[in-house]
Structure 1
Amino acid sequence: MLHVILLASAALSQSVSQFRRGPPALAALTVKYDSSRAVAIVTELAQRSIGALPEAEGTARLKSSVLELLAPYGDPALGVPSATFDEIDAKCRALEARNPTGASTAVAALDGAWRVRFSDAPPPSNGALGPLRGRAFQIVDVASRTYRNELSLFGGAVQLSLAATFEQPSASKAALRVAFRTLTATLGGVALPSIQFPTGTERTWLLTYTDADTRVVRAGVDGGRSTARELGLIKQGEGESPDSYLFYLTRAPPEEAAPASFWRVVSSTMAAAGQRRALKTALMQACEGQRLGAATDEAGRARIINLIRELEQLNPTARPAQSTKLLGTWRVVWTTESELLALTNSGLLGLPCQGASQTIGRTAAADERGAQRGAFDYSLSNEISFEGGFLRVGSSCEPQAQGGRVNFRFESCAAKWRSVQLPLPPVGSGWFEVLYLDEDLRLCTDVRGDWQVCIKG
């Protein structure tokens, strides 16, 4: 934008200097200086300058919005409703219109490991084996013109590896012809004999969008044999068109896509579980007798925060903000929140504090939509109990699609003592970040940098 302003300033200076050399005749001025054309030129330059940045921002936003739409349905996403699929498809088509990779470089851009985030193709291409969800990757070796589909289930106890070759029939088209070769299953670390695919079991891949971290692929049988069709798993003619199925993939580091050793997975899982138990025990012991944190000195505070950080590294719940484990009533056992600690020390109007809790639940709107979550579809109730009464703050909350952040907005506040209830004005909004979540323990930090340890029930 700055260079457009400079160009406009230069044009204006040139016009001023012309006038300083002497007032031209009106006809001459009309010929030499066409103001509408100057405005058009500056406008075009501005559009070019300003347009480049929103386009880049728009591409990033399109990619993140696809992942946000997919998030409620798991990773890879399964059971996506048709209305949501239509939204995803529309965003993918918008991405395809911006495809930065031409036909001549499309194949080279595929090299490496890619994680399947969604496909409406039949299993196991969609990252599932029947109703079971796995971790699905495509690993492409451009030099040898081969690729593997790797599907891992039950933490690596069951692994399927589909080997294929590919070629680019036309250098002028970003499309591949893929031939399936073998399917190998590994159970508990033991590889079973490979199954050979019949000759002609092929697919067409249309490489409709590829950049450094994202791929969109349209695929179909396109005249090849279909094992799923021959086994009666899909209808006759389904998937025939070369753009029948949509794949959305993101770049994965090689170590993430590498098939895991079953026994290594079992061993590391057991070790992590044991470490979690030990740290949880140490944390509960550190919080015991601390009066929600009001009796904790600096050394004790540092120890508890350190235990929280250690447990954060062993968090067993992916995307905790989206997990149903988050729902329910949680009792606060320790915090650094100054307001709660002040009430713990001084009470409310002389009434001693008896405890604090949080209840997170679905609203009626969320229940009506089922799995399709919308903004602020969940409720959050914070309650501090006193002898004969309580202080309660009600909020709406919105778990973000990725990670552990939950946004909230205050909607009600009330104080009650015996039969007298006094409504108070709710003010503000914020967020808290779930660092660790399992069936009975939740560890959080928040927008103000406070810490919280909560147990279920």
Structure 2
Amino acid sequence: MTALRLDLFKTLVSLFLIFATICHGFSSSPSFRPVRSSSRLQLFDLKSIFSSSDTDKTTASSSVTEVDSLKGQVEELIIVTQGKAAAIHLLDPIFEQIESQNTVEAPNRDPNFKGRWHVWFTDCPPPSNGQLGPFQGSAEQDIVAQGNEYNNILRLPSNSRDDQWLTVVLDGIWEDWDGKELSDGDDSDSSTGGSFSTPLEGTDWGAKYWKVTFLRLNFSLFGNLLLSKDFPAGVARVWRSTYLDDDTKIVRASRTGRPDDESVFYMKRSVRPNKN
């Protein structure tokens, strides 16, 4: 291994540790979220992206449901924009329409919720979107079928390529959320300085909400584990599951559990294709 590769790896590790403490693990940081200005809306025109012929095809096919059509719109736009966070202005209204079609009342308890999922889009800052410094890779999530462990995985280059040289894996655990607000991503209580809201009695929070706790980061270079670093105790996030079917799920994640603190993650079983 050359000295140049080692220097590059050390630089990437430093960048990742900074970003990971801010946002990794399907979290959100309001101060880093993209500004949703009207000027960014001018970058994309839904009518120009989705031609009338595509609409006609959707209408003509009786097997295509409303949610299938909405997912098709979302996924085409994600591919066209390559998952850039600026597209949230166009995507979020469609996400909300998809979420309104959700038929799984307790998605977090559905066996299909677990397993391997690929992040197609998120408006969360790097590295949750698969970006590390100047490098663009891919992000995915693996929730084990048994137990309460999960991994968030960053690959450079993206998962669609065979020449990956850097893999970063976040090890974490999940539990049913109890409805108590986290103190900006810190799982503390009033005795240690945190501030909790009072949860509503009788609410089945675990059906749609998980509290996830970060444990450690593992860095591998060319398939060889080089470094593991533990997170400080109590670094946690809240995941709110808003849509689930056989091949798609939408999760809104936050540092506190409040809706105004959320970022959205649109995930698929399949790898997001590159723009042609």
Query: Which TM-score tier does this pair reach, normalised by the shorter chain?
Result: 0.5 to 0.7
Instruction: Say if 1:133 and 1:153, in contact at 8 Å, map to a contact too.
Output: yes
Structure 1 residues 211 and 243: CA distance shift in structure 2, 3 A = farther
Structure 1 residues 168 and 192: CA distance shift in structure 2, 3 A = same
Alignment partners' CA distance in 2, 1:69 and 1:63? 10
Alignment partners' CA distance in 2, 1:105 and 1:183? 24
Instruction: Say if 2:174 and 2:211, in contact at 8 Å, map to a contact too.
Output: yes
- Structure label with greater radius of gyration: 1
Partner residue of 1:172?
A: 204
Find the partner of 1:248 among 256, 266, 270.
266
Alignment partners' CA distance in 1, 2:156 and 2:139? 9
Give the secondary-structure state (helix, strand or coil) at the position aligned to 1:92. Answer: helix
Structure 1 residues 145 and 66: CA distance shift in structure 2, 3 A = same
Answer yes or no: is 1:85 the counterpart of 2:85: no
Alignment partners' CA distance in 1, 2:148 and 2:112? 13
Alignment partners' CA distance in 1, 2:107 and 2:79? 33
Answer yes or no: is 1:69 the counterpart of 2:103: no
TM-score (norm 2): 0.61
Instruction: Say if 1:107 and 1:142, in contact at 8 Å, map to a contact too.
Output: no
Find the partner of 1:186 among 209, 220, 240.
220
Answer yes or no: is 1:212 the counterpart of 2:257: no
Answer yes or no: is 1:201 the counterpart of 2:201: no
Q: 1:178-222 CA distances to partner (integer Å, 9 max, x unpaired)?
A: 101110111122212211011111110000001110011111101
Alignment partners' CA distance in 2, 1:143 and 1:66? 32
Q: Structure 2: 5+ residue runs without aligned partners?
A: 1-60, 158-162, 179-202
Structure 1 residues 106 and 98: CA distance shift in structure 2, 3 A = farther
Alignment partners' CA distance in 2, 1:175 and 1:243? 14
More strand by share: 1
How far off its partner does 1:243 sit? Answer: 4.9
How far off its partner does 1:115 sit? Answer: 0.5
Matches within 5 A, 1:44-443: 57-74=65-82, 77-78=83-84, 80-81=85-86, 84-103=87-106, 106-154=109-157, 155-169=163-177, 172-173=204-205, 174-222=208-256, 241=259, 243-252=261-270, 319=274, 322-323=275-276
Structure 1 residues 246 and 63: CA distance shift in structure 2, 3 A = same
Structure 1 residues 56 and 178: CA distance shift in structure 2, 3 A = farther
Matched residues, percent identical? 31
Instruction: Say if 1:204 and 1:242, in contact at 8 Å, map to a contact too.
Output: no
More relative contact order, 1 or 2 (CA 8 Å, 6+ apart): 2
Q: 1:314-362 CA distances to partner (integer Å, 9 max, x unpaired)?
A: xxxx65xx44xxxxxxxxxxxxxxxxxxxxxxxxxxxxxxxxxxxxxxx
Count of residue pairs brought into register by the alignment: 185
How far off its partner does 1:72 sit? Answer: 2.0
Q: 1:31-86 CA distances to partner (integer Å, 9 max, x unpaired)?
A: xxxxxxxxxxxxxxxxxxxxxx9796110011111111111222xx13x42xx312
Alignment partners' CA distance in 2, 1:160 and 1:208? 27
Runs of 4+ in 1 over 4 A off after TM superposition: 53-56, 240-243
How far off its partner does 1:241 sit? Answer: 4.9
Instruction: Say if 1:99 and 1:208, in contact at 8 Å, map to a contact too.
Output: yes
Q: Structure 1: 5+ residue runs without aligned partners?
A: 1-52, 224-239, 257-317, 324-457
